Structure formats: C-alpha cells, structure tokens
Amino acid sequence: MPDASAAPDLKYAIGLPPAEAIDYFKGLGYRISRNAVQAYNAAQAKAFTVTGITRMDLLQDVKAGLDKALAKGTTLSTFQSETNDLLRRRGWIRTPGGAHAEPGTGEVVAQLPPRRMQTIFRTNMQSALMAGKYQQLQDDVDIAPYWQYVAVMDSRTRPAHAAANGLIFKHDDPFWDSHFPPCGFNCRCSVRALRARDIDRRDLDVSDSDGMLEPTEVPVGRQTRPSVAFVDKVTRTRFVPDPGFGQRPVRTQQTLGQALGNKIEQVAPEVSAAVVAAKPRLTSALAEEYQGWARQTLTAGRPQHDYRVVGTLSPKIVKTLRAKEYTIANAALVLRDDELLHLARDAKRARSAALTRAQILQLPDLLAHPQTVLWDNEDPALVYVLDLQGQAATKAIVRVDWRTSLRDDQGRHKATVNAIRTAGVVQVGDLHAARYTPIEGSWKSED
C-alpha cells in the first residue's frame, strides 16, 4: 500500500474501485457538447460530456466504457481498445485522423484520436475519484476539518498547481468552492485531510482565502465565462482552474432520459420530432427515466411541481400544428407530477373509466405508438387514442402550448408546454363525432 503522506497514486486508486467514486460517476448525466462553450456549461451542471461528440448514443457508449473502467480498474489501453471496438461494431467509420463518421453521410460525429482518448480517460477517472474523496472528506470534517492541497510535484505539474501544493484551508473556506481538484484536464492534484493535532504537532500554517480570491473571466471557445482566480499573497502566483473545473463535486441525478428530455425542450420541434421518431432507443431512455420517477411520485403521493418529458409529437403532428398556425415552442410531451397523481387517483375511483397503473407506467411507449391521434376542433387539443379493446378506447388529452408552472434545477418558473392533462377510457363511438379530425394512425384494433 502506498505511503498515506505521499502524493496520490492514480493508478493505485483506480485499481481499488472506491464505492463513492463509482456511485458518483454512474450518477452523472449526459450532455451533448458540439463546442467548448457547451462543454463548459455541461461541466458547470456536473453532467458527463465530451467536447466534439455530437451524438447522444455515441456519448452513451463512451461513458459506458468509462463506467466499466472505473468499476474494474482497467487500464487506459484497454479502455481505448474496447471503446474503439464498440464504436466499430456500431458502424462508425474511423478516419485516419482518429475521427468517427456517420457511414451514410460521412458526417463527423466524434473526434477521438489516441491523445484525446487519453485525456478523456484520465480526466474522468480523476474527477470520479476526487468526487469519492470529497465525500470521504465531508464525512470526516468533525475529526479532520483542515484540508491540504496536494500536487504531484514533478516535471508535468503546472506551475500554478505546484504553487498551491501544501496550502491548508478549513473545509468550509471559499477556496474549495473554486479550487477543489481536479482543476483542469489531466490534473492529478488531490486533497489531504488534517486534524487539529496534526496542525499543532507539525507546526503547520492554516491559510484564510479572504482577499486572495478574485473574480475573472476565462476564454471558452470564442467567448468568455466567469471564474475565480486564487492569488497567493506571498508568491503572487495566480491560479485559475480550467473552464468547468475546480468546483466542489456535486452529484446530480440527471440520467440519459432527463438529459434527452432537456435537449428535446431546447431544440426546434421539427428536429427533435424527427430524431426521436427515427431512433426507438431514445424513446426507451425516456421511458426508463419516466418509470422510475413515476414510481417514486406515486409512492410519495404528494406533488412537487416536478415533471418529465415522456415523448415527442410526431413529425406529422408538428406539421399539422404548424398548418393550424400554432407557434409550438418544442415537440416535448410533458407530464407534471400532480397530473400523474390525478391519473392514479382516477384509477382507484373508477377503474372501468381510468388508466390502470400498468398503463400509467407505460405512457411513453403508448404515446410513441398510438392507434390514432385526433384533433378536437371544439375544445382545441390533441387526443391520443392509446389502445382499442372492442368498443372501448383508452385516450390521453394533450393541450398544446399550455401555460403552466414547472420546477427544474433553477427553481419554479412559468413555462409553455405540450401538457398531458388527463387520460381515461371512453367509447369508440364518441370519438367518431364530427368534432374530431384524424391526424394520423388507424382505428383498426389488433387481433
């Protein structure tokens, strides 16, 4: 076992598979990053990202490889080999420069030359391990409230990181809000916990960052983003973490389904409708996230103004709504937790006229493959006919451009969404009335 007082040995740490690091890394979300600014924003949100990867499924493949590497303690060369093999099996064409391209169009979807793969591997391993370390440090603050910055101190250590080596601050000092390692790509720095008696016995100095932290701007692509510089009062060394690094690790619960839902809400409805319609695995990601959230919500029994994106309008529906001059913000189909609980209460009160619990949990799949979709001309709304059983039809009502209140990471706010407002069982004959205009699908039930 390495000496506890020596510089941290990343190779040794990776071989240990710490539970906290694995738990943190698997809890990271996904964010597609086409450029440096998007990568920065993703890092700020603590979402897993790789700059230059423009496909959600490709990003998932890379993260899966890192998950495996962290859990099993595999080497960089194994990670590179297995990731490239996986991408090849997916059908991505590898160019001589290390890029991966779409087979049909030749569009480059990722830039992953060997040196870049090395940076991705080392940076994400260190980030995950330091997140686990942070949790351990937090658990022990009553015993060891002083934290010491530890740099590796070899020829590859950046001067600013080396200048911070040995500095000691209390665990709650603002220094750690902006300079908790890793503080950049390939950063190998760590943090050591110290007790009060360690400070006294070794006659160590405890610093206070008051007056040593300065707001600054860092270049991100062609733009800049706010950051914090640490300026040592003695050496005057200026230490600014790379964009997106240095913050205290904060684990988020964002999953692939949540990240995909966020993306659907952000892009033009024609784009997301077409992409999700063409890739069934994306619907599966939304369904998996929704089902876990729905079960938790039903168990809690109380709304928090939370919501999930459970699917998208189809390309044909988007086109139809455009023709009706609806200025839809996006193609997302949204279900709030209070509406979910309402569906469950209806199921208990009137089982013959309500969705079953199984149907409620299957909503993403049912909405993705409806029997037919109608437009209600009298009370403007989309009517999704989810299932036909003889003369009975299960339907869901979607209000387009519905003004409502939602809660996200930024708090509660007003939003305009395509909201699933209610669902239930009606007679098929009722839906044949003149007030309804078919948009897509068929009335034929399966045998």
DSSP 17-55: --HHHHHHHHH-EE--BSSHHHHHHHHHTTEE--BT---
> What is the rounded average pLDDT of the residues 228-240?
89
Which residues in 137-261 belong to E strands, given as ranges?
146-150, 168-170, 190-194, 213-220, 223-231, 238-239
List pLDDT tens digits, range 252-299: 545 678 878 888 887 888 888 888 888 887 888 899 889 989 988 888
Distance CA 190, CA 7 (A): 8
- Which of these ranges, 17-21, 292-296, 387-391, 433-437, has the smallest mean pLDDT? 17-21
Produce one character per residue of 413-432: b if its CB has 16 or more CB atoms within 10 Å, e if not: eebebbbbebbbbeebeebe
Tens-digit pLDDT profile for residues 8-20: 333 333 333 444 4
Cβ atoms < 10 Å from Cβ of 75: 14
pLDDT tens-digit series, residues 149-205: 999 999 989 999 999 999 999 999 999 999 999 888 778 899 999 999 999 999 999
What was the pLDDT predicted at 225?
73
First-to-last CA distance in the chain?
A: 66
Read off the pLDDT band of 302 (50, 70, 90): confident
Q: Of 32 and 402, which is predicted with more confidence?
A: 402
Average model confidence (pLDDT) across the chain: 76
Are the C-beta atoms of 357 and 291 separated by less than 8 Å?
A: no
Question: Can you give the pLDDT at residue 7?
Answer: 34
Residue 113: the pLDDT is 57
For the residues 381-402, what does the mean pLDDT come to? 92
Span of 118-122, 370-374, 389-393 with lowest mean pLDDT: 118-122
Tokens of 409: 């990471």
Orientation of helix 19-27 relative to helix 56-72, angle to 10°: 180
- In the numeric block, which tokens belong to residue 375? 């437009």
Largest CA-CA distance found in the chain, in angstroms, rounded: 87
Tell me what percent of the residues of the chain surpass a pLDDT of 70: 66
Buried b (16+ CB within 10 A) or exposed e, 19-32: ebbbebbbebbbbb
User: What does the pLDDT read at residue 3?
Assistant: 36
Q: What is the pLDDT of residue 39?
A: 41
Strands (E), 119-202: 146-150, 168-170, 190-194
> Does the pLDDT at position 50 exceed 50?
no
Tell the burial category of 124 from Cβ atoms under 10 Å away from its Cβ (0-12, 13-18, 19+).
Answer: buried
For residue 399, name the pLDDT band (cuts at 50, 70, 90).
very high
139 by DSSP, 3-state: which? Answer: helix
- Sequence-distant (≥ 6) Cβ neighbours of residue 197 within 8 angstroms: none
Q: Which residues pair with 151 in a beta bridge?
A: none
pTM over 0.75: no
Look at 29-43, 323-337, 338-352, 386-400 and tell me which has the smallest mean pLDDT.
29-43
Confidence check: pLDDT of 47 > 50 = no
Structure tokens at 413: 């706010």
